[in-house]
Structure 1
Amino acid sequence: MGRVENKVAVVTGGAGGIGAAAARLLAANGATVVVTDLAEAPAPDWEETGAALYLRQEETGAALYLRQDVTREEEWTRVLDAVIDRFGRFDILVNNAGVGFRRSVEDTTLEEWRRVMTVNLDGVFLGTRHGIAAMRRAGNGGSIVNVASIEGLIGDPELAAYNASKGGVRLLTKSAALHCARARTGIRVNSVHPGYIWTPMVARSVAAAPDPEKARRHLASLHPVGHLGTPDDIAYGILYLASDESRFVTGSELVIDGGYTAQ
């Protein structure tokens, strides 16, 4: 039996990076996985992700790719209604979609601030709100995993909006977890806080540096283990929180950062 056998999962921002890794691992452990992303057509990473999902689920054709803008409330309704209509249940939501933005508080414009908040915080709020409602309707309880960051735990002088958005995800998660627990919904809500992970987002940031190799070595040096993490490092944490193994875990923050925040 897989660790999430017979469960139905939705992973936002799942066409690449951490989202794609989480989708692959959930599928490999028995879940029916619905991947959503902003692109009308799947991004290049989806070819690999989709192959892994369909390899397991080719007989049922269960794995789906759906376009979704997580900042639009009506799209949450459309996606989750489609999931329940097709599969009859909804057990796991991974709120992974997000954007990175490097700028100090003085240099950040209001428009830039609002863009980061809309995707990183509003999107998670909408996902959590509608995810809880859909899970309650399906009647099986469930697990919501919100992907935050170590930047939701510590400050960085060049990440004002990103710090604020990910810090908001952390406390929103705790509030939602308490609400669900006290209402006896059977729904758990937790956050995951990655260190620097070698994803397309981080790779683009490094490539834009005057000396990309030096920039990569610097990022790696920030972690006591001496190297950057991989998407799979985070996906295994997501799998644990999504599974019944973590049935006594809610309102928690799982830090996966190579020792970054232990310093």
Structure 2
Amino acid sequence: MERNLKNKKVVITGGARGIGYSTADTFLEKGARLVIILDINEKQGQASAETLKSKYGEDKVEFYKCDVTSDLDPVTNKIFDKHKYIDVLVNNAGTSNEYMIQKTIAINVTAVMEWSVKFFERMRKDKGGNGGTVINIASIYGFRVDPFIPIYQGSKFAVMGFTRSYGHPYRYEKYGVRVVAVCPGYTHTMLTLKTKMNDDPSVQKDFEDMLEKTTSWQEVEAVSSAIAEVFEKGNSGTAWLIEGSKPITEVES
């Protein structure tokens, strides 16, 4: 499969801001034919799309208001009615709120699986597709463990397990669809700023103290560059760490 973003059609969930928006920008800069931004925040999504259109061209960006937990069929029907094929799906939408277990799993796990399966079925070569790539945004908390935000950590472990199995080389050889994961370390985003813990105040303080002492923070641009690099070099079923803006490294299974 061609691992060059030039002329690729891309769908990014949670693409209105943060890592998702930066990924849209990076992919377009590298020559993507079209980036479709999906986000539940309609106002921000439209504004972000207009910014990218002014930079890359009116026909380079589309925006659809989308709740990844409930709008899979209506939104994908619109996309596939208009576009014959999509080359890349980036499952970026996520949340971190320890008070809301079901919502966290719905967004971080169930939606990732459902959107992956939907696009995989359209991409698979044995059913007439062109092949393609699914990129799941996991986290360092998909393979590291600490005593904080266990619900979020559990959701990201699930994403890693799903990616490694769904993207297993056996499946890639049969269907021609690559599935990979990117695991960002601590990144300055609204998600990290709004993390809420369902625990006693002393644990919340310890968590915040740990974040304050962490020296490996990075900006969203480092992550989006890593995502583009993983697209270019990552084999199916692999996962890649981007931490502290350092070069990407493969996460051992």
Structures share fold, TM-score greater than 0.5 = yes
What is the aligned-residue identity percentage? Answer: 28
C-alpha distance 158-219 of structure 1, shift in aligned 2 (>3 A): closer
What is the TM-score of this pair, normalised by structure 1? 0.79
Q: Report 1:2-151 matches (<5 A).
A: 3-31=4-32, 32-39=34-41, 41-43=42-44, 47-48=47-48, 50-58=50-58, 61-72=59-70, 75-102=71-98, 112-136=100-124, 139-151=129-141
Q: Distance in 1 between matches of 2:128 and 2:188?
A: 36
Q: Distance in 1 between matches of 2:133 and 2:43?
A: 25
RMSD across aligned C-alpha pairs, in angstroms? 2.9
C-alpha distance 197-56 of structure 1, shift in aligned 2 (>3 A): same
What is the TM-score of this pair, normalised by structure 2? 0.82
C-alpha distance 46-218 of structure 1, shift in aligned 2 (>3 A): farther
Q: Distance in 2 between matches of 1:132 and 1:115?
A: 24
Q: Distance in 1 between matches of 2:240 and 2:50?
A: 27
- The Cα offsets for residues 172-197 of structure 1, whole Å up to 9 and x where unpaired, read as 001110263142x2211011111110
- The Cα offsets for residues 58-117 of structure 1, whole Å up to 9 and x where unpaired, read as 2xx241110111112xx2223233223323220000000010124xxxxx6xxx222211
* Offset, 1:46: 5.3
2:171 to 172, 180, 185: 180
**Alpha-carbon contact 1:27-1:53 (below 8 Å) kept:** no
**Alpha-carbon contact 2:112-2:159 (below 8 Å) kept:** yes
Tell me the residue number matched to 1:105: none
Structure 1 runs (4+) greater than 4 angstroms displaced: 215-218
Q: Distance in 2 between matches of 1:236 and 1:138?
A: 31
C-alpha distance 151-96 of structure 1, shift in aligned 2 (>3 A): same
Tell me the residue number matched to 2:218: 229
C-alpha distance 28-46 of structure 1, shift in aligned 2 (>3 A): farther
* Offset, 1:3: 4.2
1:199 to 182, 185, 189: 189
Q: Which runs of 5+ in 1 are unaligned?
A: 103-107, 210-214
Q: Which runs of 5+ in 2 are unaligned?
A: 202-206
Residue identity in the other structure for 1:219: L
Give 3-state SS (helix, strand or coil) of 1:90's partner: coil
